[in-house]
Chain A
Amino acid sequence: MDDIGWLSVTGRILWQFLPVWICLAVTFAVSIRYKRSLGLYGKLFDSTIGMIGFAMVMFWVFTAVFADMVATHDVLSQISQMKNKPPGTVVPAGTSHYLLGGDHLGRDVFSRMVVGSRIVIQIAPLATMFAFMVGITIGLPAAYYGGTLDTVLSFMANLILAFPVILLFYLLVTPEIVATGLPQYMGLVLFLFPILFLVVLVNSRYYVKPQFRNVVVGLIVLVGGFFYLALVSEPESAVAILPRRLDFLSVPGNILIVFVSVVFVNSPTVFRIVRGITLDIKTRDYVSAAQTRGERPWYIMLWEILPNARGPLIVDFCLRIGYTTILLGTLGFFGLGLSPESPDWGSTINAGRKLLTVAPHPAIFPALALMSLVLGLNLLADGLREESLKD
């Protein structure tokens, strides 16, 4: 086999993404067919911008799902003859090509970019969701009760916001601080919020049906608590609560730390947004009506105010996933947290930037990938905003 030109490289890359194209086509066909009965999600397909954004986001989601089928080579295996080779170079064995060339260690850039999407798609939405649960659980009472509680919580949120993000990362993710277990202790606190949120959510709704409530709350505490313990406990580290046999959910330590710091950075901003919206909604008539009915404060917050705040929150959720993606890239770019071998986009850009003027391809493709995902999320948020403003 010989080296191939740009045209056939493009063709082969498009062919490699075949499972992704099929899934995208199916998703769009089904969604457009039933868009009238799908609520806000269906309305998204009325706006061109929203559809383009959705397509870009789903492209990377499906790529992450089918990463093993799309990737052509192993992400860690190095072929020394392939160092910094341009796109379309054939491997020495003559069996296949490095579609987007080789990086400074002779690894396949295309496969690393594809598999790297997995790390982002796994961490970014989940971390954003956690940040939202933290922000909502704190922001609602701060705005609803006001007074000293609000002052103290707002002060703390502003404290974190006044920290330059990169300094915070350097302070949280350096090996010395990881050794003290500080990020894990922060995880202990932050991961408690989703359980707390769900318990309060159910409890406030079914307070009048104690039996049903007890069962559901018990289930949440049991299942959530077990997940919680399995997630935070890490054998042979500062926090090792569960015995190894029960610790079924082993998240690699450095991923957990990256996750915790990203949630920590995002939560105060969400807090501020939730607080702002709640302050506005608090004065509405339906809230006064609920108060007059004698509803309890948490019921009003979670079942009267929160559903009415969903529009701006959903839009911000999309934007924030994009922002979290940028943060993850920043962490990788400074070589913090994730291991240098990891194929995530930030680390790959960091590794490739030293040879940028000689061999640009190892850095430019992950950079474009990251940009397209964040752009997709931004366009999606824009489309959602437009459609949710219409009614």
Chain B
Amino acid sequence: MLRFLLKRIGTMLLTALCLTFIVFVLTNLSPNLEKLAKSELGARISDREVESWLAKYGHDRPILVRYGEWLGVAPGWVSEDQGVPFGRCLPRGGDPASAPRYCGILQGHWGQSTVFKAPVTDILWERLRLTGILMFWVMALMVPVSLLIGVLAGMREGSKLDRTLSTFSIATTATPEYVSGVIFIVVFSSSAVGLKWFSGTAASAATDGITFYNFFLPVLTIALYGIGYIARMTRASMTEVMTAQYIRTARLKGVSPRDVVMKHALRNALIAPFTVIMLQFPWLLNGVVIVETLFNYKGFGWTLVQAAGNNDIDLLLACSVVAVFVVLVTQLISDIGYVYLNPRIRIS
């Protein structure tokens, strides 16, 4: 188990390094940097000025060195302007002697956002907190509902209940968030239908606190897309378990149908959905970006779109690190959980 864990974590770190490097290269391509220089100095500067600006702020060195600096394993650049030294780790007017040599993300130095004019860490924590709340409610709605649908559908394969619930699950997986979100807003909050049950925007949820009125639609929109998928997985796993020998034995022994499902089948039927639910997190990330944009909820996804749309290099890099981290950690947890939950693998 320990060797398996170490190997998984090693692969995970390697993946994280590769991915952050790719994102770093793609966000630091020369057109992006040129755009950055122009947004700092004004759009009408000459190519010479752009070049000297890039050289002054350490953007002209090899990509690997810059990646090392950003990561915090290479010493930060130092430059000077009219006799005043400054650098990556040295704010203008600081003391060169006391400045740290390395300042990358490993040292907790995530840089400055150019769109929000604030340190990246401050923005990111606040946004992640908001998205965390959203995710919590999504999970609280999605997991019980989808497991219930899956178990009910899988109890008796081919029954009317099974057909209805399966069709429902197919329909929800066929409805991406930007479609269901639009439909919900039109039905539940527009003046066209007239049912003004919920708010069509969640902007107030971030500032005035969360209410059922302003938060239900975004949560439902994200959850719905996942419900179908998890329910189908649960159903498949449940039908498989229900045909197993030990269930037949339990039935023949005279165990009541309720106990067969609750005590014997459920435990084994839930191993596969657990993995699926964990692997669903990266998907939720997708949904979060769409739904936060649609409902104007200023969380992590909304920030990612802002950063990517406005060439905010440091913020976009930080967002990618978080996204990649979430994906990799959930993969790890699902692997460990699968091994832990499944006695056949655990013991061998």
Residues of B within 8 A of A174 (CB): 308
Does B174 contact A356, Cβ atoms closer than 8 Å?
no
- Contacts A349-B178, A371-B175: A357 and B191 contacting too (C-beta < 8 A)? yes
Q: Give the number of residues in A that approach B within 8 Å (Cβ atoms).
A: 47
Q: B319 near A167 (CB under 8 angstroms)?
A: yes
Are B23 and A171 in contact, with the CB atoms below 8 A? Answer: yes
Task: Provide the residues of chain B in CB contact with A49, threshold 8 Å.
Answer: 167
Q: Cα distance A356–B190 when bound, in Å?
A: 7
Chain A, interface SS category? helix
Query: For residues 19 through 54 of chain B, which have their beta carbon under 8 Å from a beta carbon of chain A?
Result: 19, 22-23, 26-27, 29-32, 35
Chain A residue at minimal CB-CB distance from B18: A159
User: What are 27 A-B interface contacts by the 8 Å CB criterion?
Assistant: A155-B15, A158-B15, A159-B18, A159-B19, A163-B19, A164-B327, A166-B304, A166-B305, A167-B23, A170-B305, A170-B308, A171-B23, A171-B26, A172-B26, A177-B31, A330-B286, A330-B290, A353-B178, A356-B190, A357-B189, A357-B200, A360-B190, A363-B182, A364-B182, A367-B183, A368-B179, A374-B175
Cβ of B186 under 8 Å from chain A: yes
Q: Is B328 interfacial (CB-CB < 8 Å)?
A: yes
Interchain CB contact under 8 A, A360 and B308: no
A337 contacts partner chain B, Cβ-Cβ < 8 Å:
no
> Known: A171-B23, A358-B191, A367-B183. Is A162-B29 also a contact (CB below 8 A)?
no
0/1 string, B303-333, CB within 8 A of A gives 1:
0110011010000100110011001100100
Query: Are the C-beta atoms of A162 and B331 separated by less than 8 Å?
Result: yes
Chain A residues with a Cβ under 8 A of chain B: 49, 155, 158-159, 162-167, 170-172, 174, 176-177, 179-180, 182, 322, 326, 329-330, 333-334, 346, 349, 352-353, 356-361, 363-364, 367-368, 370-371, 374-375, 377-379, 382
Residue B173 interfacial (CB < 8 Å): yes
Residues of B within 8 A of A182 (CB): 26, 29
Which chain A residue shows the least CB distance to B285?
A164
CB distance from B191 to the nearest CB of A (A): 6
Kindly list chain B residues whose C-beta atoms are within 8 Å of the C-beta of A180. 29-31
On B, residues with C-beta under 8 Å from A are: 11, 14-15, 18-19, 22-23, 26-27, 29-32, 35, 167, 170-171, 173-176, 178-179, 182-183, 185-186, 189-192, 200, 282, 285-286, 289-290, 293-294, 304-305, 308-309, 311, 316, 319-320, 323-324, 327-328, 331
With both beta carbons as reference points, the residue of chain A lying nearest to B200 in the complex is identified as A357
Q: Which residues of B contact A329 (CB under 8 A)?
A: 176, 178-179
Residue of A nearest to B232 (CB): A382
> What is the CA–CA distance of A329 and B175 in the complex, to the nearest angstrom?
11
Contacting pair A357 B178 (CB below 8 A): no
Quote the shortest CB–CB distance from A11 to chain B (angstroms). 21
The interface residues of chain A lying within 8 Å CB-to-CB of B311 are 176
Nearest chain A CB to B4 CB, angstrom units: 16
What number of A-B contacts does a CB cutoff of 8 Å give?
A: 133
In the complex, residue of chain B having the shortest beta-carbon distance to the beta carbon of A180: B29
Q: A155-B15, A158-B15, A334-B293 are in contact. Are A176 and B35 (CB under 8 A)?
A: yes
Q: Separation in Å of the B259 CB from the closest CB of chain A?
A: 31
The answer to whether A177 and B26 touch across the interface, beta carbons within 8 angstroms, is yes
Chain B residue, CB-CB nearest to A369: B179
Distance A361 CA – B183 CA, assembled complex (angstroms)? 10
Per a CB cutoff under 8 Å, which of A162, A353, A361, A371 touches B328? A162
- The docked-state distance in angstroms from the alpha carbon of A49 to that of B163 is 10
Q: How far is the CA of A182 from the CA of B175 in the complex (A)?
A: 32
Q: Which of B11, B179, B190, B319 is packed against the most chain A CB atoms within 10 Å?
A: B179
Say whether B179 contacts A370, CB under 8 Å.
yes
Give the Cβ gap from B167 to chain A, nearest Cβ, in Å: 8
A176 to B320, CA, bound (A): 18
- Shortest beta-carbon distance, B330 to chain A, in Å? 10
Chain B residues in 8 Å Cβ range of A176: 29, 31-32, 35, 311
Min CB distance B253 to A, Å, is: 31
Complex CA gap A330/B293 in Å reads 12
Name the distance in Å between B180's Cβ and chain A's nearest Cβ: 8
Smallest beta-carbon distance A336→chain B, Å? 9
Known: A357-B189, A360-B190, A378-B173. A371 touches B305 (CB 8 A): no
